[in-house]
Amino acid sequence: MAVMITDLCINCDACIDECPATAIVSADSSPRDDWDYTYVKPEKCIECVDSAVPKCADVCPTEGCIVWDMPYDSDYNDYYVDNDAYVIRVHKKKGLMSPEVSPQPWREAISASDREQHVAVGETLKLYNS
Ligand code: SF4
Ligand code: SF4
């Protein structure tokens, strides 16, 4: 991924226009039928690796709303494909845009432990530039 938006989200949609990867959609456009909040498409999130900070978390007014999830990388293919929290896009020619098919950039400075625990992006500010 990626980052994940939790149910702390107030659906202000402030993050949507900030995302350089058009990875964020409003609740109404979420591919998850059971999700009433703004949603991050992990198959598109690039963790803002070219920026000082993840732009979505930088503008989000709700503390702890945006958290880390695992890298969108082949090592985590099954994690994403079998995860009820995500509905991965199916490309007409390439098929499921899984981490094995379409891995995305991710920040190595964020530990696997922090990702597993879904630590808030804001709590890892000091690591953004390392
Ligand atoms: S971390 Fe960056 S690329 Fe990922 S959803 Fe947030 S703004 Fe978009
Ligand atoms: S900026 Fe934060 S609270 Fe607003 S829609 Fe995005 S994740 Fe939700």
Q: Which domain holds residue 63?
A: 3-127
- Contact 21 CB / ligand 1 (< 6 Å): yes
User: Is the CB–ligand 1 distance for residue 54 below 6 Å?
Assistant: yes
CATH code at 61?
A: 3.30.70.20
Name the domain count of the chain: 1
CB atoms within 10 A of CB 24: 25
Query: Closest ligand 1 atom to the C-alpha of 24?
Result: 5
Q: How far is it, in rounded angstroms, from Cα 53 to Cα 99? A: 23
- CA–centroid distance, residue 75 to ligand 2 (Å): 29
* Local confidence pLDDT in tens for the 130 residues of the chain: 499 999 999 999 999 999 999 999 999 999 999 999 999 999 999 999 999 889 999 999 999 999 999 999 999 999 999 999 999 999 999 999 999 999 999 999 999 999 999 999 988 866 555 4
